[in-house]
Each structure stands twice: as C-alpha cells, then as structure tokens.
Amino acid sequence: MSTLQAKNQDEEFTLGGSNYDGDFNPNSSKPKPPIQTPIDVDDETYSDEEKVDVNKIRVRVDDPSPLVLLFGPKGSGKTMALVRLTRYLEDQGYQLEPYRIFRPSHDKHYQKICNSYKSLCYSNYAPGGNDVINFMLVKVLDKYGRTICQILEAPGEHYFDARFPNKPFPTYIQQIIAQNMSNKRIWAFIVQKGWNPDKETNANGEDIDSEMIQTQYVQRVQQIHSTRRDRAIFICHKVDENKESTLFIGDRPNTKRFKHDIRYQYRGIFNNWKNTNPLTKWFKPEKFLFVPFSAGAFTTEESGRQQYITGDDWYPRMLWKAIIKQLKN
C-alpha cells in the first residue's frame, strides 16, 4: 500500500456532522456515521427549485480542457469506475482533484464529497448511503499540475430513466451536448454483458421487461451524435461477473468476444460511431474504442455495507490508455 493510500485510509473526515473514519469499525469507540436516505442526500444536493424541476440544475464547467462523460443508467457502475481509475492514476503519479465550484454553494452534499473524496476512494468500503457520489466533476492533473482532462459523474437517471425513456436530457446535459462548447468530449458509454436491469414500471403502472429497457437505453445513446470534437469509448463493465470460459483468454477478457456479444445484445448501439469518411473507413471502420472493465470485487457484511477489494490494474490501465488515445485523436 502506498503512503498516500495509508494516509487517506487513516484520516478522519466529516459527513453529516459527525467525525468518523472511512473504514468504519462497528466495535470502534468512534461514533457511527449518521444514517441518511436518498431523500436526505437529495435535500443536501438540490435547491428547492432544482428538486421541483431538473432543468433548473446548475453546474459550472468553465475549464476548456476535454471532458470525459461517464454515461450510464443508475446502478451501472459509473461511481466505482471513477473510484478505481482514481486509485490507479494516483498510483501512477497523477493527481485527481474535485472541481469545487462545479455545483453552487447550496449543494452541501457536494462540498462534503469534495472534502472527503480521497478518503472515499481509498476506503475499504464501496461508496453508498450517506457517502454516495452522485454528482462529481474531477480534474485529472499531471505531475506539474496541468489539467489533462475532466471526468464528469452525474446521476444515472439524468442520462436514462426507463420510466420516462423519451424525456429530454436535463438542460445542463443539453448544454454539454451543445455544439458551441469549446471542450472536446469523450463519451464513455457504460454497457454490461447479460445486463438484467431492475424491473421498472412505466407511467401507466405497467411492467417494463428488461429487453425493452435495453432497447430504450440504446435509443438514448443514439441521441448523442458524433461531431468533429466528439469521441466515444464503450466500457463493458463488470466483465468479471461472466463465467463463460470462452470470454477469457487466460486471466484476460477476450475483448473481441465481449464486443461481439455487446453488439448483438444492444442492437444498434454503435451505429452513431461508424466512420463514414470514404477514404479512411476501409481501414478504420469505427470511431469508438471498446474496453472491458472491472472495478474489483465486493462482499456484503451482515450490516449491509459492501467491502471493496480492488481488482487487476490491467482494467484501469486499458481504460486510461483508451482515454489518452481518444484525447490525442
């Protein structure tokens, strides 16, 4: 374990008004973290205006450096992808720092998460409950403090909500999509082989089957159109949950096989990212990269908290290589 990891795992931080360490021990004399519900987090995150109308949500992105946008439904693993990438990149000498003015001052939860971001990333527990990372803009800095890119982790339901699949993107996402932004954008679309989403009901109270939800997600992804400044990475998350031997070559995922299966499972999801240039499409038919990924393993304690064990560095290394390649393209 690095000195930085040890330091962050031992330091105390404040959430919900009480001091406790990131690796809470139920037998410790330190006070337990207060139990918060998603409603409590929303109360600390959003203003009254924002809670009534998602289009009132305000964010600030005034750095012209490239944006990496983690795009996926709720529960797709965006947060853990960010946590795993943070651990890996800092171990390689990069610095990752939350952009503190991304959200307005009324967002108390964001300020808490900014203060405790490193402790959460290096905790032995997966973020959840009152330390949920539901809105975060993180800058990736080189050893000289220069910004390489910014990674945005936004609520999954703002990208895709199976209950309201045709609802327009919120205003702040529309602004990021808008053509007048100077930032280069790398859309990191999260997919999962064998994805079996939680059962949802539509506005009429009718059940939506998982196949329909996947079709709706593809349609949502297709609303993001490739431009000269846009690049895409499809992150096939949670590959370690697949046990078929043909999906792996030794200890490594068979990228071609996963990509083939995702193409079949999410029909049409790659369509907007085909290379239509008549000269280059013959040797480079696609404008996206495909990366198998795993954040690591999880075990659930009797208390319900999930212990987190980091996985193979190969996964974040391949993801970072894909990001750098798309930054240079």
Quick check: 117 and 188 in contact, CB under 8 A?
A: no
Q: How confident is the prediction for the chain on average, in pLDDT? A: 84
Mapping DSSP onto H, E and C, the string for 197-222 reads CCCEECCCCCEECHHHHHHHHHHHHC
**Mean pLDDT value across residues 202-223:** 87
Task: Give just the sign of the alpha carbon dihedral 142, 64, 322, 59.
Answer: positive
Give me the residue label for tokens 């390689």: 92
pLDDT over 70 at 37, yes or no: no
**Residue 240: predicted pLDDT:** 94
**Residue 50: predicted pLDDT:** 75
Confidence of residue 180 (pLDDT cuts 50, 70, 90): low
Distance CA 82, CA 215 (A): 26
Give the residue, 8 or 20, on which the prediction is more confident: 8
What Rg, from alpha-carbon coordinates, does the chain have?
20
Distance CA 57, CA 47 (A): 8
Choice among 46-55, 81-90, 259-268 with the minimum mean pLDDT: 46-55
Three-state DSSP at 23 gives coil
User: Which domains are seen in the chain, by residue range?
Assistant: 3-328 (3.40.50.300)
Q: Classify residue 290 as exposed, middle or buried by CB count within 10 Å of its CB (0-12, 13-18, 19+).
A: buried
**Mean pLDDT value across residues 71-78:** 92
pTM over 0.95: no
Q: What are phi and psi of 180, to 5 degrees?
A: -85, 0
What token pair was written down for 120?
A: 């959460």
Q: What are phi and psi of 218, to 5 degrees?
A: -60, -45
Sequence-distant (6+) residues with CB within 8 A of 236 are 191, 192, 193, 253, 258, 259, 262, 290, 291, 292, 293
pLDDT over 80 at 246, yes or no: yes
What token pair was written down for 61?
A: 């992105």
Three-state DSSP at 140 gives strand
pLDDT over 90 at 192, yes or no: yes
What token pair was written down for 320?
A: 């970072």
